[in-house]
Amino acid sequence: MFMKCKSGSMMKLLPVLLGVVVVVIMTSMYLGFMADYDNREYADYLAREYILRMESKGYMSRQDGYELINKLQERGFYNVNFSGSTTTPPGYGKEITLSINAKVKIKKYMINKLLDVTDLTESSQIRIVKKSTAKY
């Protein structure tokens, strides 16, 4: 009436459990990587949006600069500056440049031992440069 447990049946389950743990660790590392990648893509999206604004005005206005800084800071960027960007009207048909320099915190993962994963937070410098022609 009572079922007896066969000897060694838990040892057959150990590789499956180890596999599940490894998959969970790899999935969490992947999701962390994708979050960092998403921040970079968002900054590139904003750069495209603001270079299109600059095309119609001819330069980066102070108000647009403050808005862009605020949007980037909301996503975790810091030390944002636009050195190298066009800040005065260059004239119709001239080249305009948007240069975004910023730092962002990213997560790095280290696998020390068999199942010991350590996550480290480091700063990463990003630089995005977009060029176009003034059309105002």
Check: CB of residue 108 under 8 Å from CB of residue 122.
Answer: yes
Q: Which of 110, 103, 101 is nearest to 130 (CA)?
A: 101
Mean pLDDT of 5-12: 68
Residue 46, SS3 per DSSP:
helix
pLDDT tens digits for range 32-48 = 788 888 999 999 999 99
Query: Residue 118 pLDDT more than 70?
Result: yes
Residue position matching structure tokens 């800084």 = 69
Residue 15, SS3 per DSSP:
helix
Query: Residue 110 pLDDT more than 90?
Result: no
Query: Residue 135 pLDDT more than 90?
Result: no
Query: Residue 64 pLDDT more than 70?
Result: yes
Mean pLDDT of 81-102: 92
